[in-house]
A and B are shown apart, each in its own frame.
Chain A
Amino acid sequence: MDTNKRMEQFRTMFQRVIDPLGYKFSPDEEIVDFLLEQEVMLEKEKGSPFCPCQGLTGEREHDMKLVCPCIPFHREHYDAMRRCWCGLYVHKDVDDPDELVQISKKEFEASRNKG
């Protein structure tokens, strides 16, 4: 299938998943296009549109939690960043995604334990 067509299908399908979770596609169109294109490639190569910014181990239970949108499996962490790890999605109230920083798993867990 044509890459652009598949990217559009991802947009439609994933929008339905992220909306009830309080997320939207990033307003940074360039990043969104790039990431969706990578996901189409990943789907062709590995069978699923995996997160382009997280590593797969080949273990199904681990890897399936990285299929886009992976928000449900990393909810607290992403809510703390107000974006997902790769930045394809942001919280609905975010206008400027550049003001958000990535917080690593270790930093997130440390802040949660303090908090």
Chain B
Amino acid sequence: MVPWFFAINESELDEGDKKPLLMEGNKILLLRQEGGFYAISNKCPHMECPLSKGDMEGYVIKCPCHDWRFDIRSGEFLDAKEITVPAYETKVDDGKVYVNLER
């Protein structure tokens, strides 16, 4: 299986924005920050709240339910690095954004 899946066209997501996607049955949150694209699971590892409804500050997203904060680059929970939200590789090819759903 080829793990790279097409997500969106590069032009569909503005700098600093985020977009929840359903990719191969996975709830994915695609984010654009400082020009880069980042993909994490859209389910908070605490109580599965949708991170897409949370606020972003730089590379940090805050879960809307209980304010747990994650680094979108690594998926690490800032208050305990042992806990992570799954983070996926991304690549841009010819204006199209792809996500590697294999971790």
Contact = CB atoms under 8 A, between A and B. Distances in A.
User: Does B associate with A?
Assistant: yes
Given A17-B45, A21-B82, A21-B83, 8 more contacts: A13-B46, A13-B47, A13-B48, A17-B46, A61-B67, A72-B80, A73-B79, A75-B80
Interface of B: 45-48, 65-67, 77, 79-80, 82-83
A20 B82 contact: yes
Interface of A: 13, 16-17, 20-21, 48, 60-61, 64, 67, 71-73, 75
Contacts of A16: 45
21 contacts: A13-B46, A13-B48, A16-B45, A17-B45, A17-B46, A17-B83, A20-B80, A20-B82, A20-B83, A21-B80, A48-B65, A48-B66, A60-B67, A64-B66, A64-B67, A67-B46, A67-B66, A72-B77, A72-B80, A72-B83, A75-B80
Contacts of A61: 67
Contacts, number: 28
A73 to B, nearest CB: 6
B50 to A, nearest CB: 15
Nearest to A64: B67
Contacts of A71: 80
A7 B46 CA distance: 15
Contacts of B46: 13, 17, 67
Contacts of B80: 20-21, 71-72, 75
A105 B80 CA distance: 20
Nearest to A73: B79
Nearest to B84: A20
A48 B65 CA distance: 8
